[in-house]
Amino acid sequence: MNVYVVILIQTFLGGATHIVAKTVTNDVDAVTLTFLRSVVSNVGLVGLFWLRRTTLKISTKDRKRLLLLGFLGTGNQLLYMYGLHFTTAANGALLYGTTPVIVLVFSRILLGERITARKSAGILMAFVGVSIVIFERGISLSSSNTYGNLVVLIAVVAWGLFTIFGKSMVVKYGALQTTSIAAFLGGAMLFPFGVFSASRFEFSLLSSMDWLGILYLGIGTSVVSYLLWYYALRRIEASKLAVFSNGQPIVAALLAVIFLQYALTSAFLIGGTITVAGVILTQRG
């Protein structure tokens, strides 16, 4: 499959995640939600291994790197779910639009990727496009939202590092093995805290939509979206892949138009056009 088709699918799934996650975090605390998401995703990944008759073969020297990926991946999910409870989905989407900047800086420091003027300009243009769309909807700077924004920003940094440190592993082991090992290790780290939190949670309060949301976050995001992200990372530079994160807020806004009866605005159209132009410019950098 063409790598850009894969990225577009991943961008759509990621954009939908912001809306789904915000809905579910209104009813489920971050630790319990991340634990349930981890259980669902790990069951899904085990199922994939069973269907493909695949076995895990990991070099001893890579264990620390994979353990770090597990920590960063699960940490990203936990912090995002926690922070999103205190801020808006729009704010969360905008903050994920800073992923290319974070990845660009760390890819230069850790991977030695060259930062060109065209690549930097493309990332800046894409971020401006996202900002037009999100700020048009309005961003609250209340103390609660500010706290949530800071937590989500830390989650975005974790996601950027998850991308950077995963580059060598996904080249060596492939998307499925790297994603699975990170998920298994991250789930193991979270397990005792998750069990404790879940044991105190009143599951009877959850609606069918909450359960569908958890299923989406566990399979649609943590399995399918993560696999597609690492599949693409194996084939293009980390900074060029990361710029597509700017498309997630656009997707989130479009889904809001379809499902929440939001009206398309000139800001949405202008911002979306600038974002696409920035992505194209970065790819040519």
pLDDT band per the 50, 70, 90 thresholds, residue 260: low
Q: What is the mean pLDDT of residues 239-266?
A: 76
Give me the pLDDT at residue 216, please. 96
| Interval 138-182: pLDDT, tens | 655 555 677 887 888 899 899 999 989 998 899 999 888 999 999
* Distance from C-alpha of 203 to C-alpha of 25, rounded to nearest angstrom: 14
Backbone angles phi, psi at 32, to 5 degrees: -65, -45
What's the mean pLDDT when you consider all of the chain?
85
In the chain, DSSP finds a helix count (H) and a strand count (E) of 13, 0
Give me the pLDDT at residue 239, please. 75
Give me the pLDDT at residue 142, please. 58
Q: What is the pTM of this model?
A: 0.84
Number of independent structural domains in the chain: 1
Give me the pLDDT at residue 248, please. 80
pLDDT band per the 50, 70, 90 thresholds, residue 136: low
Amino acid identity, position 200: R
pLDDT band per the 50, 70, 90 thresholds, residue 264: low
Give me the pLDDT at residue 6, please. 92
Domain of residue 148 covers 3-283
Question: In whole angstroms, how large is the CA radius of gyration of the chain?
Answer: 18
Q: Is the pLDDT of residue 25 over 70?
A: yes
Q: Is the pLDDT of residue 105 over 90?
A: no
